[in-house]
Structure 1
Amino acid sequence: MTSATAADYGWIRSSSSLFAYGLEVGYTLTLVRGVSPSELFRIVGAEPRGVCQGLSEFIEAQQEFLDEYEEWPEAFLAGAFTVPGEGADWTLALEFGGDLGTRPRLMEALSAGTRAVSHSSNGGKPMDFFHWYEEGQLRTTFEWPANRTGSTPDELNGVMMEVGLNPSGDEHPAVDRKAAVLALAERLTGVRVTEGLLAEAEYQVGEVLEEPTEEWQSITIDVTDAHGERTHVQLRRDQL
């Protein structure tokens, strides 16, 4: 396991960093051990869209893809490349505005027989998530480090403290939580993500369909008033 801490990822806040684009518009970065980029795209059902030389070209392809639609498309681009890490080669998959690394069904499939780690931000709001999957099982996930879930929510507590995250409360104000999350991902994968790595990699690009939204069939109204009287009503679509 590496000794990475939040201090190793201070570069993500540089105004000249291409990663700043992801923090602004939203990103998901996923690392999967022993799965090639083409195999990752096969598992998630992505349609190949060629190759981009470097992150700048991938960002340009992302913008051109969005410009093809009058409204927000029901798909997104993911760029993936191979990088050495702990125990094997890993695939690093990066998306801007996508959610590949946050979908339980996909992450369970990608991590079957191996390990997958992802972290993300939805941009301006922001909401930031971390996920660690092992053998198809979600082991630890959190938005706020003190509010963890998963099958082993406390297993990373010691490592979290070492990288600068506080699993029992707020971090020190000098600690950049996002930088610390990148360090946590490195501790689990052995992959050091650098500005140069992202900038210079050859990205295999795939188009990933958005997850279909299940059509709702009914709504439930459950209200308790100040006197303790409860109103509970379920209405079907045809009743509204």
Structure 2
Amino acid sequence: MIATPGGHAWFSYERFPELAEAYCFTYVRGLAPEQLVARLGGRPEGFTPMTLEQLIEAAYRQGYDKAFPGVTAIGDWAFVVEPNGGLGADERIITSLSAGTRLVSHFRDVEGVEFFYWSEDGEIRFWFLADEGYAEEVPDEIAPAMRRFGAGYRDLCPSDGPAFLLAEHLTGITLTPELLEGSTYLCGVIPEAE
């Protein structure tokens, strides 16, 4: 069951100040965290387990010019959290990571630019950009979810609900604050993304 856009009001500046300001969440089906790190060009043995709080602090210490993701497993999905990062908003990376599988990501930067992507086997199936709307054609798989946003969905920012709802629809994962805060993330720098 898909929640309403307001059901994700917990993802706010009050509860997650550093993360809500600039984040990227990426889901990749069928990969373990170590496999995802390797696909990104990282060395899993050089990554460290961290809490969400530690990940946020370490990512901001790295600065803006280094990719510092945290990856955890949720069922058979690898879930990537990037405080102030954007690997999941880079179409070259998205298509590469989705080879042979499904990838769903949503991103917001400090300027308020927001993206949503769904990619299958190296091909972007759907994208959504705040203020510009969505890809030319809405695939049948997500048309019912898009209709739930109503006539004004083109004016919604993805992080106001659509991104979370579409990710839930395409992955079966309901992202909650408890899931974000209670997970342990495999964390480190991705050299090629610097």
Q: SS where residue 46 of structure 1 aligns? A: coil
Name which one, 1 or 2, has greater alpha-carbon Rg. Answer: 1
- Structure 2 residue 99 is matched with structure 1 residue 112: yes
Please tell me whether the aligned partners of residues 146 and 166 of structure 1 are also in contact (alpha carbons under 8 angstroms): no
Please tell me whether the aligned partners of residues 146 and 153 of structure 2 are also in contact (alpha carbons under 8 angstroms): no
Letter in 2 for 1:63: Y
| Unaligned residue ranges in structure 1 (runs of 5+) | 67-71, 213-240
Please tell me whether the aligned partners of residues 55 and 185 of structure 2 are also in contact (alpha carbons under 8 angstroms): yes
More strand by share: 1
RMSD: 2.4
2-side partners of 1:202 and 1:145: how far apart? 34
The residue aligned with 2:48 is 50
Number of residue pairs the alignment of both structures matches:
190
Structure 1 residues 183 and 157 mapped into 2: Cα distance closer, same or farther (>3 Å)?
same
Q: SS where residue 21 of structure 1 aligns? A: helix
Letter in 2 for 1:10: A
**C-alpha displacement at 1:205, in angstroms?**
0.6
| Unaligned residue ranges in structure 2 (runs of 5+) | none
- Structure 2 residue 53 is matched with structure 1 residue 22: no
1-side partners of 2:107 and 2:163: how far apart? 10
The residue aligned with 1:11 is 10
Q: Please, what TM-score do these two structures have when normalized by structure 2?
A: 0.86
2-side partners of 1:167 and 1:122: how far apart? 23
2-side partners of 1:60 and 1:169: how far apart? 34
**C-alpha displacement at 1:210, in angstroms?**
5.8
- Structure 2 residue 186 is matched with structure 1 residue 186: no
2-side partners of 1:133 and 1:46: how far apart? 21
1-side partners of 2:62 and 2:97: how far apart? 25
2-side partners of 1:113 and 1:183: how far apart? 24
* Percent of aligned pairs sharing the same letter: 28
Please tell me whether the aligned partners of residues 2 and 169 of structure 2 are also in contact (alpha carbons under 8 angstroms): yes
Once the two structures are superposed, what CA deviation does each residue of 1:82-125 show, in whole Å capped at 9, x if it has no partner?
012xxxx10110112222111222211221121100000012x2
Once the two structures are superposed, what CA deviation does each residue of 1:30-87 show, in whole Å capped at 9, x if it has no partner?
00111111101111102433110x2111112223333xxxxx53x2210000012xxx
1-side partners of 2:57 and 2:153: how far apart? 41
Write the mapping of 1:147-226 to structure 2, written as runs, cut at 5 A.
147-149=133-135, 153-155=137-139, 156-162=142-148, 164=149, 166=151, 169-170=154-155, 178-209=160-191, 211=193
Q: Please, what TM-score do these two structures have when normalized by structure 1?
A: 0.71
Write the mapping of 1:71-90 to structure 2, written as runs, cut at 5 A.
72-73=64-65, 75-84=66-75, 89-90=76-77
